[in-house]
Amino acid sequence: MGSQKFLACFFLHFFLLLLVFRLSVGQGLRIGFYSTTCPNAEAIVKKSIDQVMAVAPSLAGPLLRMHFHDCFIRVNNLPHLVCGSGNVLGCDGSILLNSSTHQAEKDAIPNLSLRGYGTIDRVKSALEKECPGIVSCADVLAIVARDVVVATKGPYYEVETGRRDGRVSNLADANNLLPPFANITTLKLGFQARGLSVKDLVVLSGGHTIGTSHCSSFSNRLYDFSGKGETDTDPTLDPNYIIRLKTRCRSLSDTTTLVEMDPGSFKTFDTSYYALLPKRRGLFQSDAALLDDSETRAYVHEATTDGSSFFKDFGVSMVNMGRIGALTSSQGEIRRVCYNVNY
Ligand code: HEM
Ligand SMILES: *[C@@H]1O[C@H](CO)[C@@H](O)[C@H](O)[C@H]1NC(C)=O
Ligand SMILES: *[C@@H]1O[C@H](CO)[C@@H](O)[C@H](O)[C@H]1NC(C)=O
Ligand SMILES: *[C@@H]1O[C@H](CO)[C@@H](O)[C@H](O)[C@H]1NC(C)=O
């Protein structure tokens, strides 16, 4: 390596470190950001969400997932950034933008999510009525995620606010969410690339304690798992559970049927997700993969014991996640409607 190239590389790495640092500290976010500009902001969100939950409790899952998607979308791997082609986005409300985004979710039929988008619009309208142009859509997603966790009997945690909304609307080409078939290496790298820890990975995966999944997100484990034919199933999945899942998901081509992700308790935010994993009843390969690493495996076992710290940890990790790529101060804008950038 020539010395000039070495220097260039050195500085790239230096700036990269700064960037990662910025990503991980979420500069400018704080608890109660709206306490003077819109003191009722969080109460308004909670009121709307409580109304929605009363009539459509199944929206809890999609609404929690939406904040996760917003934060995880298009944060390219570190090597890409070094090459200069990276584009860091994070919790900036981009997931809500119309046009490409509503169709860009390659991993799921956007049916349920679509209902979720309507809820966000409703919350945003309520906020605009009281405090026009003050509360960002990115913050709405973060507060809503907390409120649906509480509504499903999960932990209350303080949400940091002060995010601003991004103006990048074309995400179609850059949807690099972690896939449900990701192995533990890929999962750890994916979290690391966003400044999150292995602990955050195992704790946030606990979000799968609520909600439903389309068959298509896991049916590869039920049919022709390794290309040996129809009856070839994933050996890491409990055979009795496979039988049950097959009665719901009749073939690889089923893209519409929904299955409870945490059977029997999918409406309640609790630790039962972690109880299922060692029984080989994690629905996705990415769930099962948490048994393949000593740190995540230890956490899985600890999470179901008396005095488990899962509820407390979940709040901490959600705050960490909510800092990914957050825009603050004069960056971005406060959208007037969540589905369009301001003109
Ligand atoms: C670790 C990597 C993750 C992967 C690979 C993953 C993957 C998935 C997939 C494939 C689905 C089913 C989508 C469908 O077919 O409808 C799903 C659902 C869900 N995910 Fe994750 N997820 C991950 C992390 C998270 C995190 C961090 C959270 C939030 C803290 C979360 C919350 C949810 C929720 C609540 C649902 C249910 C959505 C509904 O009821 O419609 N996931 N996830
Ligand atoms: C944008 O999305 C919202 C739902 O969030 C929908 O009501 C509206 O009709 C959409 N607008 C356009 C122009 O597609
Ligand atoms: C959801 O999907 C079903 C079947 O694919 C379809 O009949 C229904 O109209 C969809 N609902 C919405 C709101 O798109
Ligand atoms: C994990 O998945 C990645 C990407 O598909 C693959 O390159 C890697 O070999 C896998 N690692 C293991 C240990 O299976």
Q: Which atom of ligand 3 lies nearest, measured to the CA of 256?
A: 5
pLDDT tens digits along 91-116: 999 888 876 444 433 234 444 445 69
Range 153-160 average pLDDT: 98
What pLDDT score does 231 carry?
85
- Pocket residues for ligand 4 (CB within 6 Å)? 183, 185-186
Sort 289 into a burial class: Cβ within 10 Å, 0-12 / 13-18 / 19+: buried
Q: How far apart are CA 236 and CA 288, in angstroms?
A: 7
Q: What is the atom index within ligand 2 of the atom nearest the CA of 117?
A: 5
Residue 207 CB-density burial (10 A; 0-12 exposed, 13-18 middle, 19+ buried): buried
208 C-alpha vs ligand 1 centroid, how far in Å? 6
pLDDT confidence tier of residue 14, bands split at 50, 70 and 90: low
pLDDT-wise least confident of 99-103, 125-129, 241-245 = 99-103
Residue 21 has pLDDT above 80, yes or no: no
Res 89: pLDDT: 77
Give the model's confidence band at 139: pLDDT under 50 very low, under 70 low, under 90 confident, else very high.
Answer: very high
Q: Which of 59, 105, 109, 111 to mutate to test the pocket of ligand 3 (most atoms within 8 A of CB)?
A: 111
pLDDT score recorded for residue 15: 58
Range 233-259 average pLDDT: 96
Average pLDDT over residues 30-51: 98
Residue 149 confidence (pLDDT) above 90: yes
Please report which confidence band the pLDDT of residue 254 belongs to, taking 50, 70 and 90 as the band edges: very high
Using the mean position of ligand 1's atoms as its centre, give its distance from the Cα of residue 207 in Å: 7
What pLDDT sits at residue 80? 39
pLDDT at 298 (0 to 100): 98
Instruction: Measure 267 CA to ligand 3 centroid, in angstroms.
Output: 22
Residue ranges around ligand 2 (CB below 6 Å): 98, 117, 121, 339
- Measured CA to CA, the distance from residue 73 to residue 92 in angstroms comes to 10
What's the pLDDT score for residue 16? 57
SS3 string of the chain?
CCHHHHHHHHHHHHHHHHHHHHHHHCCCCEECCCCCCCCCHHHHHHHHHHHHHHHCHHHHHHHHHHHHHHHHCCCCCHHHHHCCCCCCCCCCCHHHCCCHHHHHCCCCCCHHHHHHHHHHHHHHHHHHHHCCCCCCHHHHHHHHHHHHHHHCCCCCCCCEECCEECCCCCCHHHCCCCCCCCCHHHHHHHHHCCCCCHHHHHHHHHHHHCCEEEHHHCHHHCCCCCCCCCCCCCCCCCHHHHHHHHHHCCCCCCCCCEEECCCCCCCCCCCHHHHHHHHCCCCCHHHHHHHCCHHHHHHHHHHCCCCCCHHHHHHHHHHHHHCCCCECCCCCECCCECCECCC
Ligand number, closest to the Cα atom of 181: 1
Indicate if ligand 1 lies below 6 Å from the C-beta of 149.
no
Q: Is 90 annotated as a binding residue?
A: yes
The pLDDT score that the predictor gives to residue 24 is 46
pLDDT of residue 204: 98
Check pLDDT > 90 for residue 7.
no
d(CA 82, CA 109): 34
Is the pLDDT assigned to residue 5 strictly greater than 80?
Answer: no
Q: CB atoms < 10 A from the CB of 297, how many?
A: 16
Q: What is the pTM of this model?
A: 0.88
Say which of 69, 80, 102, 301 is annotated catalytic.
69
Q: Is 69 a catalytic residue?
A: yes
* pLDDT of amino acid 263: 93
**Across 44-63, average pLDDT:** 96
User: Is the pLDDT at 45 greater than 60, yes or no?
Assistant: yes
Q: How far apart are CA 268 and CA 285, in angstroms?
A: 22
Neighbours of 103 (CB within 10 A): 10
Which residue minimizes the CA distance to atom 6 of ligand 3?
Answer: 111
For residue 9, what pLDDT band results from cuts at 50, 70 and 90?
Answer: low
169 is in an annotated binding site: no
Instruction: Give the percent of the chain with pLDDT over 70.
Output: 80
Domains of the chain: 2-178 (1.10.520.10), 184-319 (1.10.420.10)
**What does the CA dihedral 29, 49, 268, 159 come to, rounded to 10 degrees?**
10
List Cβ neighbours of 342 (8 Å cut-off, separation of 6 or more).
333, 335, 336
Query: Which residues are bridge partners to 15 per DSSP?
Result: none
- CB crowding 78-100: b at 16 or more within 10 Å, else e: beebeeeebebbbbbbbbbbeee
CA 311 to centroid of ligand 1, rounded, Å: 18
User: Measured from the CB, is residue 114 less than 6 Å from ligand 3?
Assistant: yes
More confident residue, 109 or 294: 294
Q: Burial code of 240-268, b = ≥16 C-beta within 10 A, e = fewer?
A: ebbeebeeebeeeeeeeebbbbbeebbbe
d(CA 343, CA 46): 29
Model pLDDT, residue 230: 79
